[in-house]
Amino acid sequence: MSRKRWFTIAAMLLTATLYRNRLRAYLKEASANVRAFDFPSAGTYNALVAAVLEGFYARVAVEVAAAHPHGKLLEVESGPGRLAVRLAREAPGMTVTGVDISDAMIERAARRAARAGLSERVQFEVGDVAALPLSAGEFDGVVSTLSLHHWSERASGLAEIYRVLKTGGEARIYDLAHWLWRPAQDGNRLSQLAAASPFGEGEVEVVRWPDSVPAFVMLRVRRQPLPQEATGCATC
């Protein structure tokens, strides 16, 4: 082997030794990010969804704004905040709170809301869907996109969403139809999840986007009034 090649190998080994702690920390962070959002960094995730999913967020924003034109809305796992900002633009009477476990995502989302001049109505907070840092009965509606498959504790996540919803409030949880050719089976799994949660039941819709591809499924659950609330009888 030539001296030049030996020198290159030695330089690479020396660099790897000197920077091994930094490299290890980077790999650890990247693998945690891949588990949480399928990408090594919030920046790459944001760039990808900007390129391919803006049309989907636009559609979800129209649907959710029609359901909650004036309410307080929670976006669970708000990521880089693209949907939250769209929602606030679509519904000027709505306030949006985004919760996400990633500091990097929350910072990015808050910057997006500030750039859009929407910081007063769109706020973000770091938190885990399985233990939301929010009070009970605070929200008229909840939305979540492309996140359910990351919830390590799905039952706790749904129970938390139930807790923070007002009576009569509705949550719409959109996720990838994991098996694009079997969206009905994925729907069954979502129905079972809803049935086992405090919601007791839920409706599942296949979302065709763009146009005819069954790319997503949407689980819609509603916090029903308790029997005594429905009859207006406080002592029943």
Q: Which residues bind ligand SAM (CB under 6 A)?
A: 36-38, 49, 77-79, 83, 100-102, 105, 128-130, 145-147, 150-151
Residue 206 or 224 with smaller CB distance to ligand SAM = 206
Q: Give me 115's structure tokens.
A: 């750039």
Q: Which is nearer to ligand SAM, 77 or 140 (CB)?
A: 77
Residues listed for the chain: 236
The partner residues of 143 in beta bridges, in order of sequence, read 75, 172
**Residue of minimal Cβ distance to ligand SAM:** 79
Specify the residue, 38 or 229, whose C-beta has the smaller distance to ligand SAM: 38
CB of 60 to ligand SAM, least distance (A): 9
> Tokens 């007063």 belong to which residue?
120
Nearer to ligand SAM, 9 or 34 (CB): 34
Q: Is 52 exposed, middle or buried (0-12, 13-18, 19+ CB in 10 A)?
A: exposed
Q: How far is the CB of 147 from ligand SAM (least distance, A)?
A: 4
**Nearest approach, Cβ of 53 to ligand SAM (angstroms)?**
7
Minimum distance from CB of 81 to ligand SAM (Å)? 8
Q: Are 24 and 31 in contact (CB under 8 A)?
A: no
Alpha-carbon distance values, 105 to 41, 97, 130, 227 (Å): 9, 14, 18, 40
